[in-house]
A = this chain, B = another copy of it.
Amino acid sequence: MDLELISIGSELLTGHTVNSNAAFLSQHLVRLGYRISRHTVLPDQTEIIQQGLREALQRVSLVITTGGLGPTIDDLTQGAVNKIFPKQTPLMNKLGTASGAFYHQKNQGFILLPGVPREMECMFLEEAVPLIKTHFPVHHPLYRKTCSFCLLREIEVNPILLDMKRQEPTVEIGIYPSQGTLSVEFLGFEMGLLEQMAKQLQKRFSAFYFAAPTIVQAVHQECIQRKKTLALAESCTGGAMAAKITAIPDASLYFLGSLVVYSNPWKEHFLQVSHSTLAQDGAVSRQAVDEMIQGLFHETKADFAIAVSGIAGPGGGSSKKPVGTICIAIGERGQKTDIGVLQAPQDRASAIEWAVQTSLGALWRRLVHKAYTFS
C-alpha cells in the first residue's frame, strides 16, 4: 500500500531544520510493509496546506502529516485541516501539549502528528501505528532486506549488484555508501528471494559483512558478548567516536571512556606520548598513535584500544601530510598493534565521520575475524 508524508513548517523550507521526521516515519512504515511514494514539505500557510493535502489524497489513500500542531503563532495545520475534514479522532500526546488527529472515511485517511521529533515518534508508535494497521492493512507487503559492510567502497560492490539486477529485474537495489561503511538494500515482494540475494552478497564479502544496523552497534554487541572492554584516545575525531558509542544505551557495559587529547600537552600528560615523538614525527604519525595506544594500556585496564590522530582540516595540511591524513591504531592488550596511515575525504565533517567509521570497522574485524586491517 502506498502512502505519502507531508511535513509542515516554514523552518524546513528555510533550511532551519532538517526533516528527520520524514526519515523516521519512512523507516518504520517500510518495516511494516508500506511503500512511501512521496515526501512533501509545505509552508505554514493555510491554503497551501489544504491544497497539498487534497493533491496527496488524489494520489494515495493514506496521508500522514507532521508539524504545525502546537499552540504558537506559526501552528496552522489543525485549522487548515478542520475545514476539509471536520470530524476527527484526537490522538493523545504523552510528551507535549499538541494533540494529533486521525481521520478515516471511504478508504481514505489521514493522520496529523506533531512536529517535535520525540512527541511525534511516541504518538506515531503508540497511537497511530495500531490505527494504520487496522484501517489500512497491507495485502501485498513490500519487503526490504538490508546488508551492511565496513571498509568496502561502492565501486567494489556495484558490479556484483548489476549482475544480480540482470538476473532479478523485479527487485529494486540501492547502494548507500556512508563514510567508511556501506549498505545495500533489496526491495521486493518476495522475502525469500531478497534473503537469497542478500546471502549471496554477504558470502561474496563475508570478511566485511556485519549483521547489526550500524558498525557502532556491531562493535557494541560484540564487545558485550565477548566481555571485552574498550578505551579510546581521540585527537582529530575530537570526541565524535565516544559520542557515537555512548549514544547507545548500556555502552557503559564495555566502554570505559575516551581521552580526547586535543592539545599536545594533554597527549604527553595523560598518555605519556613522548615530547620527542611530537617534535620529530608530529602528532599525526604512526609513532604518535602507537604511543597513544601504549598510554591507554598503561593507564587503564582496557582489553582493546583505539587511537586516532589526523588532519581534519581545513587548515594544518602540508605536502607530506595533506588535509585528510588520518593515523589509526587498533590495539589489543598483549598483541601487536595494527596501524594505518590513511587518506580520508578532505572536508572536515566527512573526514571525522570517516575516521570514526573506519576505526570501528577495523576494531570489529579484529574482534570477530581476528583480522589485521592496516598492517
Contact = CB atoms under 8 A, between A and B. Distances in A.
Interface string A197-238: 000000000000000000000000000000000001010011
A270 B296 CA distance: 12
A174 B74 contact: yes
A164 B11 CA distance: 19
A240 interface: yes
A125 to B, nearest CB: 12
Interface string A21-52: 01111111110000111111111100010000
Contacts of A41: 22, 38-40
A26 B38 contact: no
Contacts of A350: 118
Nearest to A71: B158
A12 interface: yes
Q: Is the interface of A mostly helix, strand, loop or mixed?
A: mixed
A172 B146 CA distance: 43
Interface stretch (A83-91, A256-264, A325-333, A361-369): A256-264
A335 interface: no
Given A10-B187, A243-B238, A262 B266 contact: no
Interface of A: 9-20, 22-30, 35-44, 48, 71-74, 118, 144, 146, 154, 158, 161-162, 165, 172-176, 183, 185, 187, 232, 234, 237-243, 245-247, 249-252, 255-263, 265-266, 269-270, 299-301, 313-315, 345, 347-350, 352
24 contacts: A10-B187, A12-B39, A13-B36, A14-B26, A14-B174, A15-B26, A15-B27, A15-B29, A16-B183, A19-B19, A38-B41, A39-B39, A72-B175, A73-B161, A237-B246, A239-B239, A239-B260, A240-B247, A242-B262, A247-B349, A251-B262, A257-B263, A257-B266, A265-B300
